[in-house]
Amino acid sequence: MKTIETIHELRTALKSRRQGTIGFVPTMGYLHQGHLSLVERAKQECDTVVMSIFVNPLQFGPGEDLDRYPRDLKRDQALAEAAGVDFLFHPSVSEMYPTEPLTQVHVEKVTERLCGASRPGHFAGVATVVTKLFHIVAPDRAYFGMKDAQQVAVIEQMVHDLHFPVTIVPCPTVREPDGLALSSRNVYLSPEEREQALVINRTLREVEQKWTQGHFTSADELAQFVRERIQTAPLADIDYAEVLTYPRLEKPSAAWKEQRLIVAVAVRFGKTRLIDNVLLDGRGEKSCSEQ
């Protein structure tokens, strides 16, 4: 594996790989098994795998955890190399943003709910940096985890609207043995917060079961059930708990049981904000968004 820090060097290195397929795994580092599962999928489908590690300041709002976001490049390099990454792109902020960016990419509608509502400007930062990375790497396929389902929806919409020549590959959420969705932010949780955070996965699993049994009479009832269950954890501070169509992220219609739905939550435990979701398809069956 070769670690590359400049755009010019990466583009030069990839020239000789263009005869094959290039897979791309964008990350903000502090790698865990969720990231590595994306590499594994990319290795199965592509001739060359590029991973980026870049903590993008554009997607962090005032008071968010940009400065304290966990970073450990040597650890990440070892994990990426062991997983089979060919090129690790680790640019500096000045390399990615040599001057104040006056151009940003804004995706409408699918960014207006969930994390987009509670983190204004977040998805403009995501869309902008992913656009830049796609132009730099020019991959054939790019791999994203479904834990960040709204991010996947935003990027898929952007790729569709702007005719990017890249296939977006959504991959299943990877979890700890006790069900907590893997996240770089999990390291912030105290032991008590970590234990109480399990209420999120328990709730989503219960939703799956009750959905298949036809338990819910409306999307609002389903969302209220989620909120009530999560609130049984004393430390849980719910940011949102919503039921929307997927990937359009709209309020379900009267025929809501025939639509593909996402049950999405964001919950704070102390200073740590966790997100998770489950997709339910219109036949009352769980979709393949979980691993």
Binding residues for ATP: 28-35, 145-148, 174, 182-185
Q: In what order do the strands lie in the sheet with 167-171?
A: 2-4, 87-89, 48-53, 22-27, 141-145, 167-171
Of 173, 154, 147, 227, nearest to 37 by C-alpha is 173
DSSP 177: T
Integer CA distances (angstroms), 184 to 65, 96, 181, in order: 12, 22, 10
Binding residues for (R)-pantoate: 59, 151
Q: Which residues contact 205 (CB under 8 A, 6 or more apart)?
A: 179
Of 186, 158, 6, 198, nearest to 87 by C-alpha is 6
CA distance 283 to 286: 9
Binding residues for beta-alanine: 59
Q: Which residues contact 8 (CB under 8 A, 6 or more apart)?
A: none
The answer to whether the CB of 185 falls within 8 A of the CB of 266 is: no
Q: How many Cα neighbours within 13 Å face the side chain of 191?
A: 0
CA distance 198 to 274: 11
Binding residues: 28-35, 59, 145-148, 151, 174, 182-185
Assess whether 35 carries a catalytic annotation: yes
Q: Per the residue annotation, which of 8, 35, 106, 135 is the catalytic one?
A: 35
Residues serving a catalytic function are: 35
